[in-house]
Amino acid sequence: QVQLVESGGGLVQPGGSLRLSCAASLSIFGIYTMGWYRQAPGKQRELVARITGDGRTNYADSVKGRFTISRDNVKNTVYLQMNSLKAEDTAIYYCNGELGARGYWGQGTQVTVSS
């Protein structure tokens, strides 16, 4: 059974940092494209960042320069380092793994940016 388990969310002040982790029980993790998405109240789920198996990355314009996605193919884990957080980054953050037509989601972790 495939599982993606996120951790690292929480409450942080504006300008602060958080590091999200997603541990994946995916067979041959290294060939999956992994991503972080987020969904704020009343809004659609949106892509935050993605990383391919060979390390190519892409980011939403709103997080470029502030967020960094990375992966450890030995630990089967993908990370999202979030710096200079803003109130508008408040959302539930979801981990995603995709390979061709197959896609898997984690249960999400809440990130709240507030003073």
Q: 19-63 pLDDT, tens per residue? A: 999 999 988 888 899 999 999 999 999 999 999 999 999 999 999
Give the pLDDT confidence score for residue 48 in this predicted structure: 98
Predicted confidence at residue 1, as pLDDT, reads 78
- Provide CB contacts within 8 A for 10, sequence distance 6+: 18, 110, 111, 112
| pLDDT average, residue stretch 58-84 | 97
- Percent of all residues in the chain with a pLDDT value above 90, rounded to a whole number: 90
